[in-house]
Amino acid sequence: MNILSPIVTFQNLHEVRRLCHWGPVVALSVIAMCSSMAVLDSIIWYWPLDTTGGSINFIMLINWSVLILYNYFNAMFLGPGRIPLEWKPDNQQDTAYLQFCRLCQGYKAPRSHHCRKCDRCVMKMDHHCPWINNCCGHHNHAYFTSFLLLAPLGCIHAAFIFIMTMYTELYDRVSFGWSSVKIDMGAVRRVHHPIMPFGVAPFAATLFALGLALGTTIAVGMLFVIQMKVILRNKTSVEVWIEEKARDRIQYYQTGEEFIFPYDLGSRWENFKQVFTWSGSPEGDGIEWPIHEKCHQYTLTVEQLKQKADKRVRSVQYRAVEDYNGACCPTGKGFNTFLRTPCSEEPRITLIKGETIYATRGTKWWMYGDKVLTEEQAKAGARVRGWFPRQCVEKCHYDTANNSAPPEEKKEQ
């Protein structure tokens, strides 16, 4: 198997355009900065290549960079896998257990969700990651998680190089005041012959790279822990949220149901093997999945349909009393509205005075809901939903949300 094929072969050339986005630009800039500064510091100031330790250190630094970029580009370009357009199950009767996606003109397979950013239904969608400018899902979940592990490890190694470089070069110039604690620098000083002086510019660049390395270690390391928690339970971030809402729904209505998550195989090792395999390809075809013995293929999709119906029942009708231009942080809607804007990639929607919105959730200063569209717009598959300031709307006293759903909600995506 050619391990480079996922990198150099693209299904479509337009995939290369994924690099033209702030997420990959920032991520690759951080990788380049930390890697290049670690190599330069090692060769020029701290651990030259004419020593055994320096050669091993250099090889390890290059190894980290190659592994990090290999998994990063695979996660970006290989992609999560998409449900075919106009997909439907082999058994026509099974469509009763599935949601229909008007944008893809097909049914959503189990564990799939429609991504607004990618404009497609994604296999086993975990989330849309701006850092790879793609979704994390069935095919690239292992590569993405491997990147989240390797990036902090590489940054820890680089941070060690940065710290030791500054300490080595500043040892004779700065009094640290450590009278009782001293690091024996004798071995380093015997073999250390800097190629060029360690001036202000190298010090500033090394200190900046150290900050990037430590920040990346903490931030990306936390993301790795979160991902491993869901992988070891054979879940995705979306499915964790669905499971929580299932328990809330059962508790709210006191139905006495027992919701069992269908894809947890009961063993962390078995769950782990569903994502990580020796071949690099995950288990399954992205449509059918191994399930718990007490469940069936559509256990989760049936629960999703129940939650959609419950959301329609609990939605509240509001009418816009002020215009809103859809700004993320509006300056004319109050100080708290400006400061407490939702920290989410979910869109904001524009409002015109007199429009009707069905709100499904909200905070003290913002609300989230669906705008009621014309019949022609609804038939065309249009849907406008997102956040809007609470002060721009007022609750309708003739609230009919519990009696009739908005047109675009009658047939869920």
In whole angstroms, give the CA distance from residue 385 to residue 408: 10
In the set 104, 129, 135, 392, the catalytic residue is 129
Catalytic (active site) residue 129: yes
Residue pair 149/29 in contact (Cβ under 8 Å)? The answer is: no
In whole angstroms, give the CA distance from residue 118 to residue 114: 8
Residue pair 235/181 in contact (Cβ under 8 Å)? The answer is: no
Spell out the alpha helix ranges (H) of 254-343: 268-273, 299-314, 335-339
Spell 39-78 as b/e; 16+ CB within 10 A means b.
Answer: bbbbbbbbbbeeeeebeebbeebeebbebbbbbbbbbbbb
Which SS3 state, helix, strand or coil, does residue 172 take?
coil
Q: What are phi and psi of 229, to 5 degrees?
A: -60, -40
Q: What are phi and psi of 208, to 5 degrees?
A: -65, -45
* Local structure of residue 275 (DSSP, 8 states): T
Which SS3 state, helix, strand or coil, does residue 320 take?
strand
Which residues make beta-bridge pairs with 107? 100
Instruction: Give residues with Cβ within 8 angstroms of 380, minimum separation 6.
Output: none
CA angle, 149 then 114 then 252, to 5°: 90
Spell 204-231 as b/e; 16+ CB within 10 A means b.
Answer: ebbeebbebbbebbeebbebbeebbebb
Tokens of 249: 């729904």
> Hey, how many other C-beta atoms are within 10 angstroms of the C-beta on 238?
18
**Which residues are designated catalytic?**
129
